[in-house]
Structures are given as C-alpha cells and as structure tokens.
Chains A and B, each alone.
Chain A
Amino acid sequence: AQSVTQLGSHVSVSEGALVLLRCNYSSSVPPYLFWYVQYPNQGLQLLLKYTTGATLVKGINGFEAEFKKSETSFHLTKPSAHMSDAAEYFCAVSETRRTGNQFYFGTGTSLTVIP
C-alpha cells in the first residue's frame, strides 16, 4: 500500500530563513514523487517532480527536493523564504505500475512566513 506522511501540519519561518517541509512515503514499487503548492482559494500548482534519474530536483520559485530511497523521503527545501511562499504545500506519490496511476496526497503543510 502507498501512503504519504507530511510531518508538521503548520510550519513557520522568518523571511530569509531556510524552508524545510518534510515528506515521507511508502510504496511497493518505484514511485513518482511530487510537490504541489496551493495558494488561498486556488487550485494546486506543480512545484517539482521526481520520476527517474537525478535524485535532486529543482522546481519553480527556488524550491528543490531530494529523493532519498533509503530514507523513503522527499523533503522540500528553499534556502531563503519569501513572503510570497506562504501557502499550503502537498506532497504526493504516484505508482506508475498501478492501474489509474492516481496520486496519493499527504495531508498538507501550511507554511507561514514571518516578516
């Protein structure tokens, strides 16, 4: 069975500080991994994805994530937080060998950036 755990439903950082949002997954087959961002009253926008190849992936808005198979983790980081980063972030896993290829989402982490 596949599942996604996001540690910390709420994270607060100061503007300019490191952003670290944690995501652990379980999957019986090699997964595809994704991070999405959701701004208030909007849909979800893809930040970055890991499918195959390089385990450190870079996304939009200065975010990056590293796939660590041994730790079953896909943590999202950004070196310096900006006020515009305040949003809800969702980690998702997709098992490509399963019918439907649907995503399984974590419960989300709300990021607050303090001026």
Chain B
Amino acid sequence: NAGVTQTPKFRVLKTGQSMTLLCAQDMNHEYMYWYRQDPGMGLRLIHYSVGEGTTAKGEVPDGYNVSRLKKQNFLLGLESAAPSQTSVYFCASRRLRDRVWDGYTFGSGTRLTVV
C-alpha cells in the first residue's frame, strides 16, 4: 500500500516555465489537497478537491491550476513559474470512516526551486 505518492521529488525551473506536479493515492480517498510549505508560514492550502471532477480554491490559489480527472490523481500545474513559487509542495488525502473524518495522509513532498 503506497499511500500518497508525489512526483517529482525535486525540480528546478526557470522563471516563466510551466510544469505539473502529480499526486497519486491508492486508498480510495475522496478528498485531496495541495499545500505549500514556506519557512515560518506553516502549510497553506492552494487548491483542494472533494471528488472526481471537482476542484476548489484554497488560501493561496493564484498562479496555480489543478485537475482531478481520476479519483486517485490530483494534478497541480504552474502556468508560468515565478521565484515566489519556490517552495515545498505537499499533497494530502482524507476520507470519512465510520462517520468520523480521518486525519490527512501526506505525500513526501516536492521541492521546487524557481530561478
């Protein structure tokens, strides 16, 4: 059982380039989330999805797009990378079990540097 898998683990982009981060979970979780982690700021929600084909904005959505075409995958896209998007990105998923929400299951993160 792999849990939540993020690819790639590391990436360096030039300003203006685009890329897609992939999050895949094999736990049949309904809800999925993308966060960014920056020093002194904790984790901030970028976008989330409550089911296949649905997405919603979080706290810091500007400059990012997402898609959830399949239940197990949640993609985060950077259309035109900026140095301010240098960060560590975490994907998480969550499920309702016995009418109680579990905690998040996190991926191991993607460290992105934009130069």
Contact = CB atoms under 8 A, between A and B. Distances in A.
Contacts of B104: 34, 36, 44, 46, 103
A34 B42 CA distance: 14
A17 B54 CA distance: 48
B51 to A, nearest CB: 11
B77 interface: no
A108 B37 CA distance: 11
A102 B48 contact: yes
A36 B104 CA distance: 10
Contacts of B94: 101
A75 to B, nearest CB: 17
A43 B109 contact: yes
Contact of B103 (A34, A99, A106, A107): A34
Interface in B73-112: 90, 92, 94, 100-101, 103-104, 106-109
Given A44-B104, A46-B104, A107 B42 contact: yes
Contacts of B41: 107
Contacts of B33: 102-103
A44 B90 contact: yes
Interface in A83-115: 90, 94, 96, 99-108
Contacts of A108: 42
B58 interface: yes
B106 A44 contact: yes
B101 A51 contact: yes
A9 interface: yes
Interface of B: 31, 33, 35, 40-45, 48, 50, 56, 58, 90, 92, 94, 100-101, 103-104, 106-109
